[in-house]
Amino acid sequence: MTSSTTAATTPGVAETTRRLTGAQIIAESLIARGVPYAVGIPGHGSWSLVDAIRDYAPRLKLLQVMHEQSAIHLADGYYRASGRPLFCFTSIGPGACNTVVGMGTAYVDSTALMLMTGSVHTHMRGHAALQELERRHDADFPRVLEPLVKRWWQPSRVDELPGILDRAWIEMLCGRPGPVLLDVPMDVQADAAEVR
């Protein structure tokens, strides 16, 4: 795990920032919220995330399933049994589409879970690279799940992740619980930014 720490230069303010990758930001956010498992199938759209999860083990454990739908159903059952949400992840395009049935179940039964789907690098959006769903809109997978999630986000920069993760956690649990979606480009997972 690579991170650096620097002190803020504002007089009278002792604030510390660290340089973390997007995937490390996601992993640390899950650990801070007590999420014990990240469930999914490693793939080209999630390698940086998988590396971060392994770096943070045993505080965050990777549960690899054999099918993307299984990840969602596992998280659904875990929430029903424990009242605690899990984090699921998939790769890009067809693999992400395999989550639709499970997300539908989670939505209608008010199961809180967070799904992260990988997405193409931001500079590759709209070029149908790496199984991107782009025929109607660039990086269009979130629209597939739009009727089945309380809300979805598609960050373009690493520094957006902390705020998006906070909002996603609140949205997932407040009011009627339900699933949320983060569609995170590969470069946003791999690039680093200074965070508090």
Q: 4 forms bridges with which residues in the sheet? A: 19
pTM of the model: 0.85
Tens of pLDDT, residues 167-177: 999 999 999 99
Identity of the residue numbered 43: G
CB 10 within 8 A of CB 189: no
Tens of pLDDT, residues 129-155: 555 555 455 546 778 888 999 999 999
Mean pLDDT, range 99-120, rounded to an integer: 94
> Residue 109 contacts by C-beta under 8 Å, 6 or more apart in sequence?
76, 80
The pLDDT value given to residue 186: 86
Mean pLDDT, range 64-90, rounded to an integer: 97
The pLDDT value given to residue 135: 47
Provide the residue ranges of all domains of the chain, joining segments of one domain with +: 22-195
Superfamily classification of domain 22-195: Thiamin diphosphate (ThDP)-binding fold, Pyr/PP domains (3.40.50.970)
The pLDDT value given to residue 82: 98
Which structure tokens are listed for 27? 């992993």
- Distance (Å, rounded) from C-alpha 29 to C-alpha 181? 15
Would you place residue 119 in the very low, low, confident or very high pLDDT band (cuts 50, 70, 90)?
A: confident
CB 51 within 8 A of CB 79: no
Measured in whole angstroms, the distance separating CA 156 from the mean position of its chain's CA atoms is 13
